[in-house]
Amino acid sequence: MQGNGEMEEADYQAEGQAQAEAEGEAEHEAISEIRSKMAEKLKELSNIREAVVSISSKLQEKREIWEKEHAIEIGALDKGKEDMAAIDTEVRTLALADYAITKEKKLIGGIGIRVIKKLEYEPGKAFNWASEHKLCLSLDKRAFEKLAKTEQIDFVKIQEEATATIPTEIKLG
């Protein structure tokens, strides 16, 4: 015959085992539910992708037909754009030549001359100046983060973050 303490211990162990089994079943059910929903959404995604590819293909065919039917107009448009760009360049050159002589900024046809200050300097000297004056300093975040992933920097905490990838071609069993 077991003592009262032994009986309580056995009941406690049985209860713990039942709880663990229940938690295992709950986890299994949760995973099953997630995977079922994922399979459903994956099938939906696959169907939509197929529809988009089909529509895209049909539109491309129609675009090609339309372009063949309107080849003359498209050619004229392309030629017009080329001519326009060439003449635009000539007008800008003439406007700058006029300004160089007259210093007038408002020219015929609404053409305007904008004068900007363009800086030329050695980056190393500029960095040294900025460091000395504690001004104009900014972090190159991209370069810093690339370096921080490979070097140990005491104030940088690296955390892993999972992301899901979905293949272009979805294969469902």
Question: 51-72, pLDDT tens digit by residue?
Answer: 999 999 999 999 999 999 999 9
**Least confident residue range of 2-16, 72-86, 128-142:** 2-16
- What letter represents residue 18's amino acid? A
What's the pLDDT band for 139 if we cut at 50, 70, 90?
confident
pLDDT given at position 48: 97
Q: In this prediction, what percent of the chain has a pLDDT beyond 70?
A: 90
Q: How far apart are CA 75 and CA 82, in angstroms?
A: 11
pLDDT given at position 163: 84
What's the pLDDT band for 134 if we cut at 50, 70, 90?
confident
What's the pLDDT band for 166 if we cut at 50, 70, 90?
confident
CA distances from 100 to 55, 96, 113, 120 (A): 56, 6, 10, 22
Of 50, 29, 33, which Cα lies nearest the Cα of 172?
50
> What are 68's two structure tokens?
């063949």
